[in-house]
Each structure stands twice: as C-alpha cells, then as structure tokens.
Amino acid sequence: MPTTSAPTTTPLVDGFGRVHRDLRISVTDRCNFRCTYCMPADGLQWQPADTVLTAAELARVARRCVERFGFTSIRLTGGEPTVRADLPDLVAELARLPVDLSLTTNGSRLARLAPRLAAAGLRRVNVSLDSLRPERFAATTRRDALADVVAGIRAAVAAGLAPVKVNVVVTRGVNDDEVVDFARFARQEGVVVRFIEFMPLDADHRWTRASVVPSAEILQQIDAVFPLVAQAPGSSPARTHRFADGRGEVGVIGSVTEPFCSRCDRVRLTADGQLRSCLFATDETDLRAILRDPDLALRAAPSLPGDTRAADGTDPLDRALDHAIEATVGAKWAGHGISAVSFTRPTRSMSQIGG
C-alpha cells in the first residue's frame, strides 16, 4: 500500500522573488452598467454560459491556491459579480477557506444583497463609484442608478462588511473636480474612499496619458481642504492618508504614475477559467481545460523530481492545477510596462479580465 503524507503548503514565488497570496476571481464577464471608460454602450460579446466556470470549479481552483500555496486573500469581481445568481452560494463555499474574502461591485444590487452576502461569510466590499452627481453618474455608467449605489454602500456598512471601500477612477476632464466631494463623502458615510488612476484597459481604447490624473495631484487637492497625514506604506498598493482630525482616511492607487509591480502578489482567474499573472498579461493559462478534461489533467500532472505530490496522495487534477498555476506565476513579468515604448495592451478589457 502506498504511504501518504499530509500535503504541504509551498509559497508561490515568481522569478523576481514575489510571493503570491492574493487571488482575484472574476465570477462573470457580464455587467448591468456600461461605464464609458470600461465598456461600449452596447456591451461586449458575452462569454457563452457553458464556458463560464461553475461555482464548484471556481472553488476548486481557490482551494488549491489556499491549501497548496498558502493564499491569504480572495476577491470576487467581474463583470458585475452580483448579476451572478449563485453568488451567495459561492461566497458560502469560499468562506470555509481561511482567507480574507472580499467583493468588488458597482453596488447597484447591494441594498438587497448585503445582508445575505454577510450571512454567507463575505467579510468586506469595495464599491466602485465615479461621480456623486446624478447626471454625471448617469452619463458615465449609462444607467440612472446613483441612489441605488449610495443605498448599497449604506447597506454594506449596516451589514458590517467593514471597512467599506469606495473606489473612484479619476479621469481628467470627467470627474477630477469631484475629488474633494468624495473626501467629504468618506467622512460623512464612514467609508474609505480610494482614488484610482485610469489605466489603458478600456474597451473603447480612449485612454491617453493626458487622461490620467496623478495620485500626487489628487492628494494635494484633498489636503488643501481636509489636511491629511500620510500613513506608513503597508502591503496594499493603496497609499493611505488619514484625515488630520481623525475622521477617517482616503487612499490613492497610482497604478500608472507609481506602479506597485515590485510588490505585486496577485493572480487572476477569468470567468472562463483562464489564469493570468497580471492585468496586463498577454498570455493566459487554460485552467478550464484541465478542470473539464480528466485525461488532460492526468497528462498535465507529471511527477517531477522532488515533487512529493504524487506520493502524498494529491488528486491528479489538483496536481495538474498546481503545475499550471506554478508555470503561470513562474513566467510573470517584472512589471506591466505601461510607460515603456514596447507596451502592448492586452486584448481583453478590464470587465472581461476582472478588475
């Protein structure tokens, strides 16, 4: 009889020494908004339903990342994750894992869903909101839903999904005059507002460098009205600043002007089961094929010298997933290279990858 030993956890380290512990799962590529900087007015060609991973398939990859590679956080995103009907069931499944489980949403369905998601084990939410002015909100999202989103944010706070973070993509000439209004909103609503630089991932290819509002400028605008105190950098890409009077905090994420690639610990799973080592990666690894084809899984799960997984009784499918995850992260680039002349945009936009 073969002897089996307990499976071990091995940190997932790339060629630049970065340890990966954060899994972003896109649960759907569909969205009920059509934000101008993200999606065309008519939407995109949605993934056929049978190519989207089931909750069980998503959970299997997640479990591997946590149990085999020691991941500590999982964030669900999309598309808009709350349009997926079985989201509360998926949350309940993932909540069994010892991770910080969070969700990124446009907030439009949170007023109804926040209590259920909190009861299912969700810990935190990030709500995307780019304007506090109803007409501008409607023009940006192509939906008249500002009141729903604000109600959703309040429902998330009431449900204890704390800290509720509100993510604002700041775009020159579009909403850069609302930065101080958002800082005030953070203070009034008891949420953390984080300002994000516009990235070249929009489906309509409107991004230009001139449309990026640098994080430093955003902080200056706020500090002039509500003095800020910079906090020591943590592991998060957001640079956090507390209000000097103690009434909360804001953050800036300078993905373009202050890239945090050297500290990146993320991998991303798209709704159709493709693993990406970076938002801007041009390669993907097909985990769906492994999940759905036991023969392929067997062929993709070689027993490498020094690999104890065959001996420790690890299922061949899990071993195949392990190898695919390791190979993807092993090939990760040093940085996204947005500022390099050689920069190539990925073919998928943010909503298709999972932001």
**Which is closer to ligand SAM, CB of 149 or CB of 300?**
149
Does the protein bind ligand SAM through residue 140 (CB under 6 A)? no
Task: Name the E strands within the chain.
Answer: 12-13, 19-20, 22-26, 73-77, 100-105, 124-128, 165-170, 192-197, 228-230, 239-243, 249-253, 266-269, 274-276, 285-286
Does the protein bind ligand SAM through residue 169 (CB under 6 A)? yes
**Which is closer to ligand SAM, CB of 132 or CB of 196?**
196
Q: Site for ligand SAM (CB under 6 A): which residue of 167, 175, 221, 240?
A: 167
Does the protein bind ligand SAM through residue 350 (CB under 6 A)? yes
Segment interacting with ligand SAM, rule: CB under 6 A, options 67-75, 178-186, 197-205, 241-249: 197-205
**Which is closer to ligand SAM, CB of 254 or CB of 273?**
254
**Which is closer to ligand SAM, CB of 107 or CB of 273?**
107
Cα-only R_g, the chain:
21
**Which is closer to ligand SAM, CB of 47 or CB of 167?**
167
Q: Quickly list H helices, the chain.
A: 55-67, 87-94, 110-120, 134-141, 146-158, 179-189, 215-225, 287-292, 294-299, 316-330, 350-353
Number of residues that bind ligand SAM (CB under 6 A): 20
**Which is closer to ligand SAM, CB of 12 or CB of 193?**
193
Element (H, E) at 244: none
- Residues 104 and 110: their CA atoms lie apart, in Å, by 11
Q: Site for ligand SAM (CB under 6 A): which residue of 47, 73, 128, 270?
A: 128
Segment interacting with ligand SAM, rule: CB under 6 A, options 11-19, 31-39, 47-55, 142-150: 31-39
- Residues 113 and 156: their CA atoms lie apart, in Å, by 9
Task: State which of positions 63-102 bind ligand SAM (CB under 6 A).
Answer: 77-78, 80
Does the protein bind ligand SAM through residue 215 (CB under 6 A)? no
Minimum distance, C-beta of residue 253 to ligand SAM, in the bound complex (Å)? 9
Does the protein bind ligand SAM through residue 202 (CB under 6 A)? yes
> What are the residues facing 230 on neighbouring strands?
241
Does the protein bind ligand SAM through residue 196 (CB under 6 A)? yes
Does the protein bind ligand SAM through residue 279 (CB under 6 A)? no
Residue 43's contacts (CB-CB under 8 Å, 6 or more residues apart) are 31, 34
Structural contact between residues 59 and 90, judged by C-beta atoms closer than 8 angstroms: yes
Sheet holding 73-77, edge to edge: 228-230, 239-243, 249-253, 192-197, 165-170, 124-128, 100-105, 73-77, 22-26, 266-269, 274-276, 285-286
- The residues of the shown chain that bind ligand SAM, judged by CB under 6 A, are 31, 37-38, 77-78, 80, 104-106, 128, 167, 169, 196, 198-199, 201-202, 350-351, 355
